[in-house]
Chains A and B, each alone.
Chain A
């Protein structure tokens, strides 16, 4: 089976790219596979991954390890389980620093305290010696972010960093990531299923469906003039304050299983605008703002007006 198929993506310096899609659309898998974090023996990754011009696929684990944590930092979805429960948070941050930099234990610890302060943890001098279970979910996610930033990574991959958090904490974490991106000049790949999060901080958006990219473009373009019927559905599912609608729009049906992706357009079985051409697999087309849909521009403009009016597929 293909969990991810035909995804091509580039991230510029200081750019924030958002990857959005439903559960199981291959958002996380694509990032994990690039970094060699998929360890199962029967996983194969083909294609090319370049970081600063250097090919990552096929790199020996030892060389990959140097990049992971130093040049590429990662933030995970569930901060409750992402930290080793038996070690103090300061120790865990220092462990990463010492894995990549030639510093003493005391220096690494000092840096850990600074980082904890930077990510907005009060009293970092005291908190550095506490265990993960002594932190709340939002605070733990701050610890994970501090850890990811500890070696000034050039690229930060955030895998649904706010999904497991409550709404107020989500906003704080997003704000923090935006602020840190300015300070550290990092590029960010943000994986999420929440269009609201994307509209907060992404520069560019990749919409994925069934392991394939459905639409790629600037945030403004994708959100204002979405081209793919799937994106229409996703946008229709974001609650809005100004419209008085009793029910939130949903996309009918469930995501296709990666074991059973249709030969044509993967979204066709759930798409109400499908026609004969959809039995053929669409390629990404467009100029700057790409999408994988066979409808013509004119048709899209026409249909979208209706779709956005009624809130996607009711």
Chain B
């Protein structure tokens, strides 16, 4: 198992390295595009373009350019934006990352609990009233887009019912966990629920399908022949085997959300996270910031996948050999 984990993380590092090269090539070696002009921004003076050229070594060979870029990004961490002159990229990402992490982690806890519970309850009550009810709620949650749900939640909690039952809801924004944990949770409660709704719906539906499949497996028949209770068969045998697909789904969703896919929720609730940072950078064509957030996003997707693979190893002994 130790070897398996080590091997998995070594390969994750190699993947990260390849991604950094790929991202670098896209930004700096796309034929017909002058990277200096792009980095300098739309209305840059020739002096600024020349400065960029020098700073990124654009007149030198590609491998050196790559080294300089990585130096700016990770070692000196002084890559700065030319659109908003003076803003450094790395500190911006470092400020935005905790917001996104708080949002996605909290939502993940909610959607995992709700999704797994929903899937298990629906599968245990196949053919009864509660099963189609849960599945309908799931499809409803999947169908509602986050920006619409978020706006409705805002409308209700901030405006329509703010004077009565939702008077305790703070105005949108973010309070750091370190400064006030209670306020942190209170500010994030509705963003969490909004973001979790879609995923809870997906997970409940996927898990129900997996469980129904698993309950038709031979090993479940063996478990029944052993005289185990239906509850134990469902939870210890069928659910345990079905969790494998839930975990792989979770790795993909979690990685991409941390990497910026929670953008809509962040924008609707005024949370200054990575998604919003990327969004603004894209609007301004702020290339250094875009590059920084792309690297950051790739990092979390790769990391999440590595963690998921290790979790696989714990859940499914057959994976450890591979």
Is B317 engaged at the interface, CB distance under 8 Å to the other chain?
yes
Pairwise interchain contact A133-B318, C-beta atoms closer than 8 A: yes
A133 to chain B: closest residue by CB: B318
Let me know if A61 and B230 touch, CB within 8 A. Answer: yes
Which of A62, A68, A81, A86 meets B218, CB within 8 Å?
A81
Q: Are B225 and A100 neighbours in the complex by a CB distance under 8 Å?
A: no
Asked whether A76 and B317 contact (CB < 8 A) given A35-B225, A68-B225, the answer is: no
The answer to whether residues A95 and B228 also contact, given A81-B217, A85-B316 and a CB cut-off of 8 A, is yes
A131 at the interface (CB under 8 A from B): yes
Tell whether, in the assembled complex, residue B318 and residue A69 are in contact, meaning their CB atoms are under 8 Å apart: no
Chain A positions 120-138 with a Cβ under 8 Å from a chain B Cβ: 131, 133
A293 within 8 A of B: no
**Do the beta carbons of B317 and A86 come within 8 Å of each other?**
yes
Q: Taking the complex as formed, is B43 at the interface, i.e. its CB lies under 8 A from any CB of chain A? A: no
Cα-based distance from A73 to B222 in the complex (angstroms): 10
* Given A81-B218, A84-B237, A86-B241, A131-B226 contact (CB < 8 Å): no
Would you call A65 an interface residue if the criterion is a C-beta within 8 Å of the partner chain's C-beta atoms? yes
Contact A100 B127 (CB under 8 A): no
Given the known inter-chain contacts A41-B127, A131-B318, please indicate yes or no for A82 contacting B219, CB distance below 8 A.
Answer: yes
- Bound: A76/B317 CA distance, A: 23
- How many Å lie between the Cα of A70 and that of B315 in the bound state? 29
Question: Is A78 on the interface with B (CB-CB < 8 A)?
Answer: yes
A-contact bits for B207-239, CB 8 A (1 contact / 0 none): 000000000011101111111111000000100
| Contact (Cβ within 8 A) B219 A70 | no
CB-CB < 8 A to A83: which residues of B? 219, 222
A96 at the interface (CB under 8 A from B): yes
Q: Which of B222, B225, B241 has the most CB of A within 10 A?
A: B225
Nearest CB of B to A52, in Å = 16
Residue of A nearest to B320 (CB): A131
Min distance, Cβ A36 to any Cβ of chain B, angstroms = 8
**CB-CB nearest in chain A for B214:** A84
A66 proximal to B (CB < 8 A): yes
Produce 1/0 per residue, A34-56, CB < 8 A to B.
01010001000000000000000
Contact residues of A between 77 and 96, Cβ < 8 Å to B: 78, 81-87, 95-96
Q: In the complex, A133 Cα to B229 Cα: how many Å?
A: 25
- Interface residue? B240 (CB, 8 A): yes
**Contact indicator B230/A99 (Cβ below 8 Å):** no
Complex CA gap A67/B225 in Å reads 9
B241 touches A69 (CB 8 A): no
Nearest to B244 among chain A residues (CB) is A86
Complex: A62 Cα to B315 Cα, angstroms: 30
Which residues from chain B contact A61 at a C-beta distance below 8 Å?
Answer: 230
Residue of B nearest to A72 (CB): B225
Q: A-side interface residues toward B, CB under 8 Å?
A: 35, 37, 41, 61-62, 65-70, 73-74, 76, 78, 81-87, 95-96, 99-100, 131, 133, 144, 147-148
The 20 listed contacts between A and B (C-beta, < 8 Å) are A62-B229, A65-B229, A69-B225, A69-B227, A69-B228, A74-B225, A76-B218, A76-B225, A81-B217, A81-B219, A82-B218, A82-B219, A84-B219, A84-B237, A85-B241, A85-B317, A96-B228, A131-B318, A133-B318, A144-B222
Which residues of chain B have a CB within 8 Å of any CB of chain A?
Answer: 127, 217-219, 221-230, 237, 240-241, 315-318
A82-B219, A147-B222 known; 10 new pairs, CB 8 Å cut-off, are A65-B228, A76-B225, A83-B219, A85-B318, A95-B228, A96-B226, A99-B226, A133-B317, A133-B318, A147-B226
